[in-house]
A and B are shown apart, each in its own frame.
Chain A
Amino acid sequence: MSIILSAVLTLLALAVIFGAILGFAAIKFKVEGNPIVDEIDSLLPQTQCGQCGYPGCRPYAEAIANGEDINKCPPGGEATIQTLADLLDVEAIPLDAEHGEEKGKQVAVIREDECIGCTKCIQACPIDAILGAAKQMHTVIADECTGCDLCVEPCPVDCIDMISVPETIKSWTWKNPKDQAFKIIATDRNPEVRV
């Protein structure tokens, strides 16, 4: 009897001690916010375009953390879906066409002589990448523009174009050799290979 009692008491004591430690830790090391949301947010392209149906990248990140599909971000495209799938350990699914298609990098350009200076696009730009003032010509800071095209719709004179960013000699990178028949110098081997 006493054996059973002492065992129960011991376990009880242990339970109380560990409970206290856990309770203390829960208060002391409390994590503010949901860290997974930050991680998801850092993978999203931050265009703040709202094509996913949420009012920005962070709200979509929160929705993903709560079980929303990961395939609603056209600017991020397949690459973002893949990284999100890796992070969340879920299956990578193809992009949901309902929200738009992957277009490649774009940048907004204002046809400046047609601009009437209404400031509507400035108000629409989520990242303050348009400069200008009332009744003054506006212009897009191309380096800051994420190509979200939110400024196109509010323009009353339709003077904003979305142009794909052309590849320059500076931005050029080697292409995947898998996709192309390359004329590769380095693989040219002489018949006699001496190592």
Chain B
Amino acid sequence: MSSKNTSVAWPELAAFVLSKELNDGEIGSPGGARSEIPLAAARLAQLTHAPNLMIITSAAGFVTNNVGRPPAPLFHSTTDYRNIYAGAESVLHFMSIFRTPRDWFFAGGMQVDSYGNLNMTAIGDVKAPKLKGPGGAGLSYAGSVARRYFIYMQQHSRRSFVNKLDYVTAMGYGSGPGEREALGLVGGGPALVFSPLAVMDFCDATKRLRLRSVHPGHTVEEVLDNTGAEMIVPENVPTTALPDNDVLEILRTQVDPSGVLQNLKGSRND
């Protein structure tokens, strides 16, 4: 393992950054098309600072806690049966998946805009789309009930960060402050966006996307060049902190002992 941490792969950095957003005692569900990342984030949180955090693998209802257990492999899919070995203590009935409270969910999308609204429906006219997306999944449900949710994008580009979505599949902050409340959406909305280039959050007053940190090896200019959505850029944008050696060791020996995150195929920006 590199002591300088320069070889931290972006999915590992994602797991680390997102793990810090999860608090002790919370209940949440990792999801999205690259569910390895949020699943690793939640397990890392359990093993570092949140031993009472409970993970519900949404699509299969496994309620898990990995604290004090031998390392379990990280699998590509949260619906994989073998997640049962990662400290599953109970299994929710299928309909209970939709009746159990969550402090957080994770979401991905083909497009995200300045207010954290997401498109999973289609790029281009839905009747003859350039790219047909997989559909709404449970994103809109998750966004309507969870206390907050985290968006992770596998690609940071002008095509994925846009000012106007082709379709709104899941509502973030709509067109600004007060819109969620007006529609009776009890969940708090999106809290953070992670991309292979940067970490972004949302300004409290305007609910607009705001650059929070830029990953090592990348610059603010590069992020802006690749962002089609309006984004608040503070005067000082720090570099995304890397995990220290202790946390990296937990990540690589206990959360993801076979190096799934290090070898994740898929889009990235370098």
Same complex origin of A and B:
no
